[in-house]
Amino acid sequence: MLAIKAVYKDFWSLPDGITEESESPEKGALRELREELGIVLQPEQVNFGGVAYLPEKEAFLENLYFIFKAHVSSEIVLTMDKEEVEAVAWLTPQEFRNRVPRRHVHLHLAADIAEGKFGVYTEG
pTM, two decimal places: 0.87
Q: Where are the domains of the chain?
A: 2-122
What are the C-alpha distances in Å from 14 to residues 22, 71, 124?
Answer: 23, 14, 24
Which residues contact residue 83 at a Cβ distance below 8 angstroms, ignoring those fewer than 6 apart? 7
Query: Using one digit for the tens of pLDDT, what is the confidence trace for 33-61?
Result: 999 999 999 999 999 999 999 888 877 78
C-alpha dihedral (102, 80, 39, 13), degrees to nearest 10: 0
Amino acid at 54: L
Position 90 scores a pLDDT of: 96
Contact by Cβ (8 Å): 106, 120:
no
In the three-class reduction of DSSP (H, G, I as helix; E, B as strand; rest coil), residue 18 is classed as: coil
CATH class held by domain 2-122: alpha beta
Query: Using one digit for the tens of pLDDT, what is the confidence trace for 8-24?
Result: 999 999 999 999 999 99
